[in-house]
Structure 1
Amino acid sequence: MTSKEIRKQYLQFFESKGHLIVPSAPIVLKDDPTLMFNNSGMAQFKEYFLGNGTPKSPRIADTQKCLRVSGKHNDLEDVGFDTYHHTMFEMLGNWSFGDYFKKEAINWAWELLTEVYKIPKENLYVSVFEGSKEDNVPFDQEAWDIWKGLIDEDRIILGNKKDNFWEMGDQGPCGPCSEIHVDLRTDAEKASVSGKSLVNNDHPQVVEIWNNVFMEFNRKADGSLEKLPAQHVDTGMGFERLCMALQGKTSNYDTDVFTPLIEKVEQITRLKYTSNEVKNISEEQNKTNIAIRVIVDHVRAVAFAIADGQLPSNTGAGYVIRRILRRAIRYGFTFLDTKEPFINKLVEVLANQMGEFFPEIKSQQQLVTNVIREEEASFLRTLDQGLQLLDKVVAETKGKEVSGAKAFELYDTFGFPIDLTALILREKGYELDEVGFNAAMQEQKNRSRAASEVSTEDWSVLIPGNVETFVGYDQTENEVKITRIRKVDSKKDGILYQIVLDNTPFYPEGGGQVGDKGTLVSANETIDIIDTKKENNLILHFAKQLPENVNAGFVAKVNTDLRDLSSRNHSATHLMHLALRTILGTHVEQKGSLVNPNNLRFDFSHFSKVTDEQLLEVENFVNTRIQQQLPLIERRSIPIQQALDEGAMALFGEKYGDNVRAIKFGESMELCGGIHVKNTAEIWHFKIVSEGAVAAGIRRIEAITSDAVKTHFALQENILDEVKIALKNPQDILKSVVSLQEDNAKLKKQIEQLLKEKIDGLKNTLVFEFQEINGINFLSKQVDLSMSSTKDLAQALGSSNPNSFVVLASIEDNTPNIHCYISKELVAEKSLNANAVIKELGKYIDGNGGGQPFFASGKGKNVSGIKEALEKAVDFVK
């Protein structure tokens, strides 16, 4: 069976069991602050397990794109070295929300594996939770009894809390689980060693393929367990491992999930990959295999993350994506000898392979390719720079051990991989101080952990069973009751309280728009709400203190001044989106946005700079629609397909329900949950303040509306008045400025001519001051010139004399500078090096510098050291 057929058969099987088949959620999470990425199949269903929402069906099945590269689930460093770990993988899952439980889940899993997929029963082992005295959870007798009716008892294994008790996190829903493992070894290997002894022991051919989790408990902040009001089933089967088992392979990478990508790498690099069936390969071939596995795994993770809206960057989730891609580039650079971008060429293969089931990779193919290509080129330049810096570190090292702190600086500041540093040092005959590096790394981790440390208490539920409603589209003030509260203590923000209301006019951060601020007012007190966010379908109101009486009645009041400003910027963003698609082309798609009371920021796909003329067109387009006073046409709950058929824009990487809210101003129609003006006239005016690149194929526009535009125009008017005063109030300001520029250009030319004459005069004078020392024409002198002119003079003097060694110094803005020119023949024959000379002489002026062997420059802080530096220069030629 092909991987496509395996995936299809899984979904058809559970559809026949009454499950609703739903699409994969984006790999990048937008509304769960506790997770960067979807790291398991259940992540998109957390709100149902927590009781904060109602699923479309009590039975659901899907295949979910998952990414495990950070936090508790981190497989990154294993990827490539074994045959079954991945960064991005598909998790096949079937779910029961308060419907069926252990009996059905176990029997269906067995039926699918043995009767539909026809995996021999003698190749399977299962595990059951042995119980935990610590948590007061008994042995899972029910699961044991069910399995005993399906499989020989000697194939049932008791599992401990680590292996057979699944938890969503430190707090939240959890429960015992029952895993299914498959033994893919040869008959001879099975006869030699029992597969039972290899389960959960990291054997590459005895692997877990399916985990059935029985959600029964809620883990509280104090570590204790309480029963959930309903029992749920959460299962996950590793798609890639299942394909390995069904295609008769002993490595995930030998399945058709990966072979098309591997073949493309082979074609590009002209190197061969050997399958897992080939034994006794050379060390060199093993390194090649590992590098290819790393690359074909990582390109999937990076490509799908970008397709779902996460661009590589230096912070947060973007940093994780950049790190994965750089690991792939580095393996290609070191072990496949790839010095040019090539990983981007794999995106086409991936899109053709997976685009049918995951259409986002096909629709975003060009963008993904461009972003990866640019990231590759950038990091290859970094690697080249890092090699030079590493050479410098080695040159400055006394002895044969390179400082761990220096290596960490290369890693932390320049992104130079530590394993590449160690490899190059070994080749040069040096050792790396790994203890020092690890200490520096741990110190940074401790700082980072301390900065991000968060302690969250359990919810204190005041009104059980309440389902919160959002009324903020119609009201900005409403009578409310507090239904639950919890305390959160973080190093970053200190102690905050999260408050949930029975209904709320506060808009929670989402769709690029910031959360509302405001107050909760009772008869006796006022509590400031400093932010509003959404988590697992709960709207959280953040406050620095709790009301004295949390059971009182309150009036929730939104800060309408701030909200109105945000809504104007949000509506202007929609109009600008339409303007960009109209003026630049329909290839323009939103790739990110930020809407707050002060301004708006909009990232979009476009492959060249937006010209000033085009930006002016965009401004005029939006302002025309503001002047047309277009009314808001809002439809709150229409079928998503109907909205799309009517022309509504859906944003990639967003998760939409069956029914959506559509916002329309004239021709602009988008699916959006944000707050908008009732009429475009409220925006008043739209002004673009900047446009630039964010990544390859991604541009960013920042703009302002309303009060910010008034402030902007007032500021421009003040600047113009100051310019008038500075120019003595001319009748024609522009003519005056142009005249000033022309005069300045003439004066610059005159100064340049005078400097040239001065340099020529000094050259003609100094040429007679050369001394011959050991066959070298030596000159050491301080001159009265700028730094750049001193550099020009040194080069002119040196190039006019054979075998010359010139050191010139000068002072500019009270900063000393030194320049050294050495004839190329001296560099070759006498092993003289201008770079080394400047580093040594720079010590006398408390400075440093560098350059090439034949010319280098430096500057410092100690003017009085110039004299000694010039005197010491002669030591190099004596």
Structure 2
Amino acid sequence: MKSQDIRKAYLNFFESKGHLIVPSAPIVLKDDPTLMFNNSGMAQFKEYFLGNGTPKSPRIADTQKCLRVSGKHNDLEDVGFDTYHHTMFEMLGNWSFGDYFKKEALAWAWEFLTEVLKLDKDRLYVSVFEGNPAENVPFDQEAFDIWKQYVSEDRIILGNKKDNFWEMGDQGPCGPCSEIHIDLRTEAERNAVSGRDLVNADHPQVVEIWNNVFMEFNRKADGSLEKLPAQHVDTGMGFERLCMAMQNVTSNYDTDVFTPLIAKVEEITGLKYTSNDAMTSRDLSIQEEQNKTNIAIRVIVDHVRAVAFAIADGQLPSNTGAGYVIRRILRRAIRYGFTFLGTKEPFINKLVEVLANQMGEFFPEIKSQQQLVTNVIREEEASFLRTLEQGLQLLDKVVAETSGKEVSGEKVFELYDTFGFPKDLTALILKEKGYSFNETEFETELQKQKARSRAASEVTTDDWKVLIDGNVETFVGYDQTENNVKITRIRKVDSKKDGVLYQIVLNATPFYPEGGGQVGDKGTLVSANETIEIIDTKKENNLILHFAKQLPENIEAGFVAKVNTDLRTSTSKNHSATHLMHLALRNILGTHVEQKGSLVNPNYLRFDFSHFSKVSNEELRQVEASVNQQIEAQLQLVEHRNIPIKEALDKGAMALFGEKYGDNVRMIEFGESKELCGGIHVKNTADIWHFKIVSEGAVAAGIRRVEAITGDAVKDFYTSQENTLAEIKEVLKNPQDVLKSVASLQDDNAKLKKQLEQLVKEKIEGLKNTLVTDFQEINGIQFLAKQVDLSMSSTKDLAQAIGTSKPNAFVFLASVEDNVPNIHCYISKGLVAEKGLNAGNVIRELGKLIDGNGGGQPFFASGKGKNMNGIAAALEKAVEFIK
């Protein structure tokens, strides 16, 4: 069966068992602050397991795009070295929310594998939880008895907590699980060693394909377990591994999930991928080289899937958060191509077309966003290849400054941490040069960084204290900014970053939680005796969380929840203006424009969108004018709440890629602007007052960013501009024509600059002729150390000019510019080669005397510092380098 047929067979089977088939959620999570990416099939259903929402159906099935870069078995640095772990993968899942349990889940799993797919029963093993007396969790007798109906007892394996007890996190729903493993080895191998002994032993052909999790418990903050009020089933089957089993191959990469991508890499590079089974050469060196090629190709075809789907879902590569993870994955792929496949030009972007053709039918986002994904990856490739080139130059410099044959591990870590230069690439290049590096020092620095990162993100969360049972929490903020409320639950959260905060949940809150680019509301909770400040509002697992630095003394009292209306009003103006600008951009630049991200807060709005070139000043003026025309038209807000998504789309509403929409949605209309949106808006566009773009620029290839302001911020902007103009006029003695006066000043300045440059050249030439006579010959070296009265750049020019005028010259010059001392060293290239002198070392050493530092190349280097009094000592000490 082809992979597409296997996917369809699974979904059709569970649809026949009464399951509602739902689409995959985006791979990038935008409404769960505890996760960057959808890392499992159950992530989009967390709120149901926690009891904070009601699913569309008690039975659901899907295939979920997942992304994992750390955790059990698949740290990013290991992906590609084996044949069955991935960064991005599909998880086939069937779910029961308080409906069926172990009996049905295990029976259907067995039926699907053995009767629908007709997998060999003699190759299958199952596992059940052996129990944990320390946590008062018994052996899973029920699952064991169910499996005895289908397999002999010698095929039922008892698993420990690590392998057969699943937990959502340190706290929350959890329970025993029962896995199904398949043995894909040859008959001879299976006769020699029982597959039972290889289960959970990381054997590449004895792998887990299906995990049935039975959520029975809730893990509390103190580690204890309590029974959940309802029992749930959460299953996950690795799609790629299932394809491996069905297509009679021993590697995921030999399935048709990956072979089209591998074929494209072979076509581009001219190199061949060879499966492990096909490697027949007895020459170990040939096998070793082929294995390096294989690993590189596996890395690339795995990573391009993760990166492409993340970008299609709205996550661009960047230097922070989820964007940094995506950039890191892509750079790892680029680096493997660069090092092992000889690819010095961007090529990974060419795989996107293959991926889109292969998976676009089931995941339409990869097809519709194909051009954008291709452009972003191409630009990232070009950028990182330039970084690799810079890294090679930096590495050459590090080698030149190293005495002996071992490079400092700290220096290698600096290359890795600051410039993204991979450790293994550094090791490879150093080996070619006859060098190595201190790995212990590198690991020490790496562990320090990880410790800093862990400390910064360390969070301790208490259990919820529930005051009012049941799903009673509602949002009333579209209609009210003030409401009488009761607290339904509270918990304390202690983090290194924010300190101790309290999360408060209200029964009927007017506070808007952060989402859709809009920041969360701030405000107060007021009772008869006290006022509690709410500093932020967020949403997690369908609960609206109000953050406070302190709890009310009486948490059971009644409160009035009051939103800060000044902040809310300013935010709503910016949010509505974002919609108007989106329409204007599409009308003026073209319908290819799509929103790719936004930030809406009280001070300004930020809007990222797809567009292939810089937006011209004239186009920006047209966009501004269009938005302000819509403001002046006094367009009334038309709000459609809780309407079917199909009806909204039929009305012309825009849906954004990467957003998760329910069956019913909220639609916002201002004239021709129609968007699906959950945010807060003005009642009439006239409330915005005015719209002003303050900046436009690139975010990534094919992605532009506009920042703009509205309302009072525009008034402040124009007031500031007016004040600045008045100050300029005053400085210019109040000319009638300010522009003409400024242009005249620029012309005068340009003329004076040319005259000054000529005078400086003449001064440098005069000093050069004077200083030539001050050279001293020491040990066959022409030595000069002087302080001169020049700017830093002119001193640098003089050092080079005077140095090249003498053979075997060692020139050390110092000067002061704006009370900042600077030093420069020129050493003839012959002395660098013959005597091992290094200008960079000279500057670093003598720079300490002026409380500064610097660097450069072995024949020329510069530096600056803070202590002018140290210049004399530096000039005196320079001679020691040649004595």
Q: Is residue 2:668 matched to residue 1:678?
A: no
Identity fraction in percent: 84
Q: What is the identity, as a one-letter code, of the residue corresponding to 2:103?
A: K
Q: What is the distance in 2 between the residues matched to 1:831 and 1:532?
A: 63
Q: What is the identity, as a one-letter code, of the residue corresponding to 2:223?
A: G
After TM superposition, the structure 1 = structure 2 runs for residues 582-661 of structure 1, keeping only pairs within 5 Å, are 582-661=587-666
The match for 2:131 is 131
Q: What is the distance in 2 between the residues matched to 1:576 and 1:397?
A: 56
After TM superposition, the structure 1 = structure 2 runs for residues 68-467 of structure 1, keeping only pairs within 5 Å, are 68-70=68-70, 74-279=74-279, 282-467=287-472
* Contact 1:466 1:483 (8 Å CA) reproduced: no
Q: What is the distance in 2 between the residues matched to 1:157 and 1:851?
A: 64
1:441–1:838: structure 2 CA closer, same or farther, 3 Å change rule? closer
Q: What is the distance in 1 between the residues matched to 2:488 and 2:13?
A: 41
Q: What is the identity, as a one-letter code, of the residue corresponding to 1:199?
A: V
* Contact 2:461 2:492 (8 Å CA) reproduced: yes
User: SS of the residue aligned with 2:726?
Assistant: helix
The match for 1:538 is 543
What is the aligned counterpart of 1:551 among 547, 556, 561?
556
The match for 2:670 is 665
Q: What is the distance in 2 between the residues matched to 1:160 and 1:825?
A: 69
Question: Please, which moves more after superposition, 412-421 or 615-624?
Answer: 412-421
Q: What is the distance in 2 between the residues matched to 1:829 and 1:443?
A: 40
* Contact 2:478 2:510 (8 Å CA) reproduced: yes
Question: Please, which moves more after superposition, 735-744 or 288-297?
Answer: 735-744
1:219–1:850: structure 2 CA closer, same or farther, 3 Å change rule? closer
1:753–1:433: structure 2 CA closer, same or farther, 3 Å change rule? closer
* Contact 1:499 1:540 (8 Å CA) reproduced: yes
Q: What is the distance in 2 between the residues matched to 1:542 and 1:848?
A: 46
Deviation, structure 1 residue 399: 4.3
Q: What is the distance in 2 between the residues matched to 1:762 and 1:586?
A: 64
The match for 2:575 is 570
The match for 1:690 is 695
Q: What is the distance in 1 between the residues matched to 2:716 and 2:865?
A: 44
Q: Is residue 2:580 matched to residue 1:580?
A: no
Deviation, structure 1 residue 185: 0.1
The match for 1:35 is 35
1:476–1:778: structure 2 CA closer, same or farther, 3 Å change rule? closer
The match for 1:53 is 53
1:22–1:824: structure 2 CA closer, same or farther, 3 Å change rule? same
Q: What is the Cα-based RMSD across aligned positions, in Å?
A: 2.5
Q: What is the distance in 1 between the residues matched to 2:364 and 2:733?
A: 64
Q: What is the distance in 2 between the residues matched to 1:221 and 1:684?
A: 50
Q: What is the distance in 2 between the residues matched to 1:367 and 1:83?
A: 30
Q: What is the identity, as a one-letter code, of the residue corresponding to 1:408?
A: F
Deviation, structure 1 residue 762: 3.8
How many residue pairs get matched? Answer: 878
Deviation, structure 1 residue 114: 0.8
User: SS of the residue aligned with 1:353?
Assistant: helix
User: What does the per-residue CA deviation read over 1:243-287, in whole Å, with 9 as the maximum and x for residues that have no partner?
Assistant: 000000100011111111111222222222111212466212111
User: SS of the residue aligned with 2:276?
Assistant: coil
User: SS of the residue aligned with 1:630?
Assistant: coil
Deviation, structure 1 residue 345: 1.8
1:871–1:488: structure 2 CA closer, same or farther, 3 Å change rule? closer
User: What does the per-residue CA deviation read over 1:283-312, in whole Å, with 9 as the maximum and x for residues that have no partner?
Assistant: 121112111111111111111111111112
1:34–1:827: structure 2 CA closer, same or farther, 3 Å change rule? closer
Q: Which structure 1 segments of 5+ residues have no match?
A: none
Deviation, structure 1 residue 340: 2.3
The match for 2:284 is none
User: What does the per-residue CA deviation read over 1:700-748, in whole Å, with 9 as the maximum and x for residues that have no partner?
Assistant: 1111111111111222222222222222223332232222222222221
Q: Which structure 2 segments of 5+ residues have no match?
A: 282-286
User: What does the per-residue CA deviation read over 1:570-604, in whole Å, with 9 as the maximum and x for residues that have no partner?
Assistant: 00011111111111121211111111111111111
Q: What is the distance in 2 between the residues matched to 1:799 and 1:666?
A: 72
Q: What is the identity, as a one-letter code, of the residue corresponding to 2:278?
A: V
1:612–1:72: structure 2 CA closer, same or farther, 3 Å change rule? farther
The match for 1:26 is 26
What TM-score, normalized to structure 1?
0.95
Question: Please, which moves more after superposition, 494-503 or 771-780?
Answer: 771-780
Deviation, structure 1 residue 333: 2.2
* Contact 1:630 1:680 (8 Å CA) reproduced: yes
* Contact 1:52 1:467 (8 Å CA) reproduced: no
The match for 1:477 is 482
The match for 2:789 is 784
User: SS of the residue aligned with 2:660?
Assistant: coil
The match for 1:738 is 743
What TM-score, normalized to structure 2?
0.94
Q: Is residue 2:721 matched to residue 1:716?
A: yes
1:406–1:765: structure 2 CA closer, same or farther, 3 Å change rule? closer
Q: What is the identity, as a one-letter code, of the residue corresponding to 2:373?
A: V
* Contact 2:74 2:85 (8 Å CA) reproduced: no
Q: What is the distance in 2 between the residues matched to 1:842 and 1:499?
A: 56
What is the aligned counterpart of 2:731 among 713, 716, 726?
726
Deviation, structure 1 residue 842: 5.0
Deviation, structure 1 residue 436: 2.6
Deviation, structure 1 residue 147: 1.2
Question: Please, which moves more after superposition, 851-860 or 494-503?
Answer: 851-860
1:826–1:725: structure 2 CA closer, same or farther, 3 Å change rule? same
The match for 1:815 is 820
Q: What is the identity, as a one-letter code, of the residue corresponding to 1:493?
A: D
Deviation, structure 1 residue 437: 2.4
* Contact 2:73 2:85 (8 Å CA) reproduced: no
Deviation, structure 1 residue 103: 1.4
Q: What is the identity, as a one-letter code, of the residue corresponding to 2:794?
A: S
Q: What is the distance in 2 between the residues matched to 1:545 and 1:782?
A: 62
The match for 1:701 is 706
Deviation, structure 1 residue 825: 7.1
